[in-house]
């Protein structure tokens, strides 16, 4: 249930779920980011849908819900400012934002993507802002975040696991595609100075990436993705 409510100040909210397991005989395990990753993907995608439905800018909409969460607002504002939120982009390009609170850390990301006529998504830049409390080694924090972003982008674009006759078909990198060096975006990490208790840093970079990407895809195409990995056929231009 981690990350299911987000850092937002909704006066009333209910978090409920239905347990869904794969067929008998298939064992599942934890993935980098554990529950926060899955929940943030749905929560931040839906927050974006609420913003669009209300006719509001996605960053401004989030800020209005953060009156009692100054640390969350600070990382959101920092990521938006460093990414140049609101600037005009070329057709087929878009910016997407996500805001995550998990593992004692506040984290915001802005992703810049483009989508070509064949529905292929290219991530050009990711700007991250993090408040993980008191920092000990800033370089380690940045390395963890950058690694988490690359790991998450592999999952967003290619992380499809298929099962045949009770066995996973992907066994190594010849059958499971990983993000290549020439596909990696420019990544910027900005750390908020804080005297709060230290929070976790190994997972938030991955957890915030997927919703930032799909929100950017919506900004670029007007098409909302609610399932991963990205299916290019769902984004392919009809022209």
Per-residue pLDDT of 87-115, as tens digits, reads 999 999 999 999 999 999 999 999 999 99
Chain segment 174-185, per-residue pLDDT in tens: 899 999 999 999
Residue 17 confidence (pLDDT): 80
Q: What is the pLDDT of residues 214-225, one digit of tens each?
A: 999 999 999 999
pLDDT at 166 over 80: no
Q: Provide the residue ranges of all domains of the chain, joining segments of one domain with +.
A: 34-232
The string of DSSP letters for 105-144 reads: EEEEEEEEEEE-TT--EEEEEEEEEEE-SS-S-HHHHHHH
CA-to-CA distance for 143 and 162, rounded, in angstroms? Answer: 31
Q: Does domain 34-232 have CATH number 3.30.365.10?
A: yes
- Tokens at 46, concatenated: 């839906």
In whole angstroms, give the CA distance from residue 215 to residue 202: 23
Distance in angstroms (rounded) separating the CA atoms of residues 25 and 36: 26
Mean pLDDT across the chain, nearest whole number?
92
């Amino acid at each position: 249930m981690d990350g299911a409510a987000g850092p937002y100040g909704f006066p009333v909210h209910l978090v409920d779920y239905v347990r869904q397991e794969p067929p008998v005989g298939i064992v599942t395990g934890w993935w980098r980011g554990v529950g926060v990753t899955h929940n943030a993907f749905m929560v931040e995608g839906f927050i974006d849908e609420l913003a669009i439905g209300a006719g509001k800018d996605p960053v401004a909409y989030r800020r209005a819900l953060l009156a009692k969460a100054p640390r969350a607002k600070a990382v959101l504002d920092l990521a938006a400012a460093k990414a140049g939120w609101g600037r005009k982009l070329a057709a087929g390009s878009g910016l997407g934002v996500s805001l995550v609170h998990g593992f004692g850390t506040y984290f915001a990301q802005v992703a810049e993507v483009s989508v070509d006529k064949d529905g292929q998504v290219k991530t050009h830049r990711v700007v991250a802002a993090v408040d993980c409390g008191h920092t000990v080694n800033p370089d380690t924090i940045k390395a963890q975040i950058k690694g988490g972003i690359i790991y998450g982008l592999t999952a967003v674009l290619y992380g499809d696991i298929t099962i045949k006759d009770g066995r996973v078909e992907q066994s190594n990198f010849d059958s499971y595609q990983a993000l290549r060096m020439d596909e990696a975006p420019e990544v910027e990490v900005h750390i908020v100075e804080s005297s709060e208790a230290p929070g976790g840093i190994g997972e938030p970079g991955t957890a915030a990436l997927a919703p930032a990407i799909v929100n950017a895809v919506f900004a670029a195409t007007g098409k909302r993705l609610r399932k991963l990995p990205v299916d290019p056929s769902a984004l392919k231009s009809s022209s």
